[in-house]
Structure 1
Amino acid sequence: MSKKLSGSGNKLIAVIGDTDTVTGFLLTGIGERNIKGESNFLIVEPDTKEKLIEDTFNAFLRNPSIAVILVNQHIAEKYLRHIISNYEEIIPTILEIPSKDKVYEPKKDSIMQRANKLLYGSEIK
């Protein structure tokens, strides 16, 4: 499986998540490390500093090679909600995903809330 999105000018998928989530995506082949040693993934452990998570996420947002950023919802909620809620670009697309231990809640996903409001005129309850 290719780690790049076909037909998109060799764009990457980035992932920020717990060990199981990131490992699962790396096993599919999305892992990438450039010449500078920068990767397109971050494993968030209980002792991972909030600044590292925010800095990595912001670097992914600025990276023109990244088309999609996958983030475990519980990590987005705890560390990145203030950035995601204000994000208005289409690319890279931010997708909040469940983790093995945490259930996905659409009402907490600010992107889903905006989409639902645009499409149906109301937020998810």
Structure 2
Amino acid sequence: MSKKPRFIGGSDLKVAVIGDEDTVVGFCLAGVGGRDAQGRSNFLIVDNKTRMSDIENAFREFCDRKDIGVILINQHIAEQIRYMVDTHEKVIPTVLEIPSKDKPYDASKDSVMSRVKVFFGGNIE
């Protein structure tokens, strides 16, 4: 008798992180990071040796996974794959750009903030 696949509800969704080592380690220490039964992790540590294709593949995988509800990505890394971040239109997973320790956050580059600005008629600072 085979098990029926369990429905993933909102409370079952995970947070994925694509970021520098400090960001990812911080979120992992807070309980965000982990591996599932298939051995897939929900994080990618990006450094100057990380290939662009690895970042793209991780972003694509996190967007396609049914158990990921939010993708947190350092803004300077999102800039490297801006074409993918800007074309992502699904509500779930939601993509949020966050600052890193060494790189300041710039709201004018954030795709979500740009959409909010359009929604409010450009009157948000």
RMSD over aligned Cα, in angstroms? 1.5
1:117 aligns with 2:118: yes
Task: Please state how far the C-alpha of 1:24 moved relative to its aligned partner.
Answer: 0.3
- In the TM superposition, what are the counterparts of 1:55-70 in structure 2 within 5 Å? 55-70=57-72
Q: Give aligned pairs, total.
A: 117
TM-score (structure 1 length as normaliser): 0.88
TM-score (structure 2 length as normaliser): 0.88
Task: Please state how far the C-alpha of 1:45 moved relative to its aligned partner.
Answer: 1.0
Structure 1: gaps spanning 5 or more residues = 1-6
Greater radius of gyration (CA): 2
Task: Please state how far the C-alpha of 1:35 moved relative to its aligned partner.
Answer: 2.2
Amino acid at match of 1:65: D
| Whole-Å separation in 1 of the counterparts to 2:123 and 2:92 | 23
| Whole-Å separation in 2 of the counterparts to 1:85 and 1:123 | 21
- List 4+ stretches of structure 1 deviating above 3 A: none
Amino acid at match of 2:25: T
Name the % identity: 50
Q: Counterpart in 2 of 1:16?
A: 18
Amino acid at match of 2:104: V
Label 1:42 to 1:123 Cα distance change in 2 as closer, same or farther (>3 A). farther
Task: Please state how far the C-alpha of 1:37 moved relative to its aligned partner.
Answer: 1.5
Q: Counterpart in 1 of 2:3?
A: none
